[in-house]
A and B are shown apart, each in its own frame.
Chain A
Amino acid sequence: MTLDERHLIESARRGEPAAERALYEQHVGRVYRMAHRMTGDAALAEDVTQDTFVRAFGRLDEFEFRSQFSTWLHAITTNVALNVLRTHRRTRDHEQPTEELGRLPVATHDGDRALRIALHRAIDTLNDDMRATFVLHDLEGYTHTEVAEMLGVEEGTSKARLSRARAKLRAVLADEDTRASRAGHAGRAGDER
C-alpha cells in the first residue's frame, strides 16, 4: 500500500469528502468489473458497486492495514454480490424455471465460440462458492490466501473449491470436444459420400 493511499484512508476515516471521492475514483473501476463478473448484469453490478462503497465507507474504521485496501474492498464486493445474487435468483427462479435455461440452444456451432459459450454456461451452473473462487482465482488473479480472506474460509477450502470447479469445467470441455469431434467426423463422411 502506498503512503498516499494510507493517507487517503486515514483522511476518509475523518470524514473528508475529497479523500472518500479519491478512494472511490481509484477503486470503482475494479469493483464494478468484479461485480459484473459475479452478477453478469450491468444494473446489478452497479447496485453491488454502490453497496460496496456504502458499506466500505461505513466500516473504514475496521480496516486495519494488514492487507491491501483493494483486497478488503473486493471482499466486501464479493459478499455483497453473493447476497444480491441470492435475492435476485429467488425472484428470477419464480419467473423462469432453471430447467428452461439448460434447454436454450447454443447460439452458434462455430468452434471455439460454441465451446466458450458452453463453458460460460457451465461456470454459471457452479454453486456460488465454487464460482466465486474460480472467478477470483483464475480470472481475477488473486492468490488462495487472498481468496480465502475474501470469502472468509480457510486457504485449504479455497483450494478444494477451485479444484472441484475446475474438475466440473474440465468435464464440460471434454464433452464439448467429443461432440465437436463427432460432428467433424459426420461432416467429413457426408462430404465423401
Chain B
Amino acid sequence: MTTDDRIRELARDYNAPPRALDAARREEIWNRIQRERGASSPRTAHRIRPRHRNRLQTIAAVAAVLLIGILIGRTTVDRPDERQATTSDHATANVDRVTTTNDHPVTPGNGLGTPGERLSADDTPSPDATHRLATRDYLLRTETLLTEFRLAAASPTPESALPGTGPWASSLLLETRLLMDSAIGENPDLQRLLRDLELILAEIVQLADAADERERQEIRRSLEERGVLLRLRRAVPAKAGTRGA
C-alpha cells in the first residue's frame, strides 16, 4: 500500500454524514426548495442563525441612528432652498403630498414619492417622511453600486475595476436588512425587491474575498435574471436624486 493509498484509506470517512438523509428530511428539504422557488425569496434569510441575528441587530441599530441623524441633518440644511421653492413654485408640499415634474408623473404605490418630493420649510419631518427619504436614498445608492458592479463585471479586467466594492456592499446589506424589518418593508413589492437585493449584496460581499470570475458572472446573471436594476429604477424615479429638480 502506497502512502497515498494509506491517506485515502484514513480519509475515507472524512466529513462523511453519520447517516443518509431519511425520507422526512428529504421531504423537509424539498418543501424548503419549493417555498424558496415559489416565493423567489432570498437564499440566506432563513439561514441567519439567532446569534448572528443578534449581532446584526446591534449593528443595524447603530446604522439606523446614524442614518436618521444624517437625514435630519440633510432636511435641516435644505430648508433655505425649500423656502425659495415655496415662493416660486407650486411644487412645495408636505412630504405626503407629493409634487410632480412634467417628465416624471407621480407613480403612486411604492410609497417613496417622486422626483420633486421635498420637505416643506415649516414642516417638521415626520418619522414616516424620514423613513421614506432614507429608503429612496438607499435605493439610489444601491442602484449606483449594482450598475457599477455590472459594468465592471463585464469589463476585460474586472478585478481592477472592483476595488472597494465589498465594504460598500456590506454597508448597503446592513441597510437592506434594516429596511426589511421596518414598516416600509411591509410594502409587498418593496419587500420582494429588498429580498433580492439582500441576496445579491450578500453575494457581492462574499465575492470581495474570493474574486472568483465564475461567481462574478453568476451574480451578474442573477442581477439580469431577476430584473433587479429595472425594478430598482421603477422604485425610484429617474431624477429622485436631483435636488430642487
Chain A interface (Cβ < 8 Å from any Cβ of B): 21, 24-25, 28-29, 32-33, 36-40, 42, 45-47, 49-51, 53-54, 57-58, 79, 83, 86-87, 90-91, 95, 112, 115-116, 119-120, 123, 134-135, 138-139, 152, 166, 169-170, 173
Contact = CB atoms under 8 A, between A and B. Distances in A.
Contacts of A25: 26
Given A28-B26, A46-B25, A91-B52, A51 B43 contact: yes
A169 B21 contact: no
B90 interface: no
A86 B14 contact: no
Interface string B190-222: 000000000000110010011001110000000
Given A49-B29, A139-B14, 7 more contacts: A36-B15, A46-B29, A123-B14, A138-B4, A138-B7, A139-B12, A152-B214
A95 to B, nearest CB: 8
A79 B36 contact: no
A138 B12 CA distance: 9
A120 B29 CA distance: 28
A28 B29 contact: yes
Given A28-B21, A28-B26, A119-B7, A50 B16 contact: no
Interface string B2-45: 01101110111111111011000110011011001100000100
Contacts of B26: 25, 28
Contact of B37 (A57, A79, A138, A173): A57
Contact of A24 (B11, B25, B33): B33
Nearest to B23: A25
B15 A39 contact: yes
Contact of A79 (B15, B30, B215): B215
B74 interface: no
A134 B8 CA distance: 9
Contacts of B11: 116, 119-120, 123, 134, 138-139, 169
B210 A86 contact: yes
13 contacts: A28-B26, A29-B21, A32-B17, A50-B29, A54-B33, A86-B210, A115-B10, A119-B11, A123-B11, A134-B11, A170-B7, A173-B7, A173-B10
A138 B214 CA distance: 24
A82 to B, nearest CB: 8
Contacts of B25: 46
Nearest to A52: B33
Contact of A86 (B20, B21, B209, B213): B209
A139 B13 CA distance: 9
Contacts of B206: 83, 86-87
Contacts of B215: 79, 83
B10 A116 contact: yes
B30 A24 contact: yes
A54 B43 contact: yes
Contact of B214 (A79, A120, A134, A135): A79
Contacts of B33: 24, 50, 53-54, 57
